[in-house]
Structure 1
């Protein structure tokens, strides 16, 4: 759960796994799955005959560690195993992580099986929570038959999308560093530009105003404000970039890094969590406050010929990765099915 999330659909083989729909949330708009009702003991009791196991991916921040303890106790009483994918060792929606770590302790101790996406995340789970995991990489989430390859342009374009300025996004620090890096590169004669995008509605209006002031008089830096992009719009926006800058101050893994990989857009980011381990050859590191490192990362990231939007090399690279990732998704689904079977055997033997 949640079944409406594209990641959940991507890892579940429809030939062998039936996903129950997300229960409606009282008072919420249609289609909203959070807070996930399927974690409530009353729902689990009422629908126990309809499911064999619970696989939790997202939405745990909706409940306290004590409430999650009641969830796992109910599953134990019903003899229904819990599988938990540890996507977030640090929760991107939260500033303070204390309650999140307490919730992780509850879930990692109770789960019949744990999954992580990278070897380094597995090592952290072992170190912090004393449990081993099954490492299964993040699959492609692209569903369409073709992918955009971008539009040619005369400059090297670096983009950063700050979205709604949620707690794990360092918008001010990232943009300040980017403005200085672009100025340095342009002073050296590089034809480089940066585009900074934010949603119209943000969580931190003061930070948004500061970002606007930082970019207002910056040569080669443009600010975009707009509504939240749908998947197709986001893919087109990313495909027009020579490199994508990730603005995270904390986090664990990144779906954006996966989407950029699928679209053959190199990633520049800080070394937070385990994002660099997802696709190491496509990841170029910098530190917020270090424009020299960011300028170097921009130069390195945009050096490969396939990084150029709209070029034949970009199109070839996107097609090659699409074929590889399609085969990988089949392997990812098989790996999840093996995890489910182990969890069910464990529950049957208990």
Structure 2
């Protein structure tokens, strides 16, 4: 595994004796909590939006001009991760201008060059045109995204790998042994970038082809009980209903423990994305040593290229070939000694990686805050 320090641009590292006070958007997101070193960074809690129930961070008040004016003395650095889509690009531009007037540096991590929550990317692209050129430092997760950022905005982004988000001491499942090869995909709540119909149609034909050739492969499609488009959900059910070797499981959103167990039972996980940039789901599969079969879009493959088998939605031959490639390594088998050893090895590597990811963020913050220099 490449270390994040080896994959990022060189920045000036300044020793510091002070803690950095960070206004992160959003503060309580698992990714933000993971990359913020608790020994060097104090993350301000998310301000509660007017009238919102406790625990809700959106729309993010930190990106409001008025909040920034009245709270500038409470933080040293503003770091935007997610949530800008709650506002117009003009609103965020005004917020950034307020931060500038207060002398506060701005960091932006480009997680999504395409927003998976939006069907139309027009406003997201306008938002990126405001945020990326304006930030003092731009971070992203992969070399491919870095190249796209350079091409679109002329910015040299710092690449810092996506860390493990779970607790370091958490014992991950290795799955249950099975006599068949089990692949699966989770359509979740059918958010806009999930091509549920395309993936279901491609998968049933790929599985049929593999089984006709003598493979024991079976496939599982999971989908939340509550979805954004019930007509699409019913169409997926119809596509799957008449085919052997493929099951549709629909139910409540799985708690984390049950989700980990379900993923660990797979020989390979299929990503159902029609577009996008990076995937936290892919990182979860990496930690569980579950090979990923994913689309040839975005920069998903750059996250863990050695274990990513590409296919094209609508092309069952490419999906069948990708499934065969993904399930070749011995560690792809759930419940096996090879899977257990791979999960353990990755856990150790991830612990070291997390320390480097946190140090990289702290280095960036300290390079931007003159008063923190010793």
Fold agreement, TM-score > 0.5: yes
Residue in structure 1 matching 2:111, options 77, 87, 90: 87
8 Å Cα contact 1:85-1:116 kept in structure 2 = yes
Q: 1:127 aligns with which of 127, 141, 151?
A: 151
Distance (whole Å) between structure 2 residues aligned to residue 286 and residue 193 of structure 1:
18
Offset at 1:36? Answer: 0.9
User: Gaps (5+ residues) in structure 2?
Assistant: 1-24
Query: Of the candidates 239, 243, 250, which is equivalent to residue 225 of structure 1?
Result: 250
Scaled by the length of structure 1, the TM-score of the pair is 0.97
* Equivalenced residues, count: 348
Please tell me whether residue 98 in structure 1 is matched to residue 129 in structure 2: no
SS at match of 2:138: strand
Question: Within the alignment, does 1:250 sit opposite 2:275 as a pair?
Answer: yes
Partners of 2:166 and 2:346 in 1: how far apart? Answer: 11
Q: Alpha-carbon deviation of 1:62?
A: 0.6
Matched, 1:269 2:294: yes
1:308 to 333, 341, 344: 333
- The answer for the alignment partner of 1:240 in structure 2 is 265
Q: Which SS does the other structure have where 1:3 is aligned?
A: coil
Q: Determine helix, strand or coil for the equivalent of 1:47.
A: helix
Give the whole-Å Cα distance in 2 for the aligned partners of 1:256 and 1:226.
19
For residues 198 and 371 of structure 2, what CA distance do their matches in structure 1 show? 48
RMSD: 1.4
Alpha-carbon displacement from aligned partner over 1:161-182 (angstroms, at most 9, x marks no partner) = 0111011000000010000001
Q: Does residue 286 in structure 1 map to residue 311 in structure 2?
A: yes
Unaligned regions of 5+ residues in structure 1, if any? none
- Larger RCO, structures 1/2 (Cα 8 Å, 6+ apart): 2
Pick one of 111, 131, 143 that aligns with 1:107. Answer: 131
Alpha-carbon distance in structure 2 between the residues aligned to 1:314 and 1:331: 26
Matched, 1:192 2:226: no
Residue pair 2:366, 2:372 contacting (<8 A) in 1 also:
no
The separation in 2 between residues aligned to 1:113 and 1:264, in whole angstroms, is: 33
Taking the aligned partners of 2:68 and 2:201, their CA distance within structure 1 comes to 48
Contact 2:265 2:334 in 1 (8 A): yes
Alpha-carbon distance in 2 for matches of 1:346, 1:250: 42
**Structure 2 CA distance for partners of 1:172 and 1:346, relative to 1, 3 Å:** farther
In 2: Cα distance, 1:343 partner to 1:269 partner: 38
Farther-moved stretch of structure 1 (99-108 vs 336-345): 336-345
Aligned to 2:239: 214
Deviations 1:317-345 (A, max 9, x none): 00000000100010111111111122224
**What corresponds to 1:69 in structure 2?**
93
Residue-by-residue CA offset, 1:270-293 (whole Å, 9 max, x unaligned): 011100000001100000111011
Residue by residue over 1:144-189, the C-alpha shift from the partner in whole angstroms, topping out at 9 and shown as x without a partner, is 4311111111211111001110110000000100000011111111
The answer to whether the aligner puts 1:173 opposite 2:185 as a matched pair is: no
1:30 aligns with 2:38: no
- Normalised by the length of structure 2, the TM-score is 0.91
Q: Could you say if the C-alpha distance between residues 346 and 188 of structure 1 is closer, same or farther in structure 2, counting changes exceeding 3 Å?
A: farther
Measure, in 2, the Cα distance between the counterparts of 1:175 and 1:251. 19
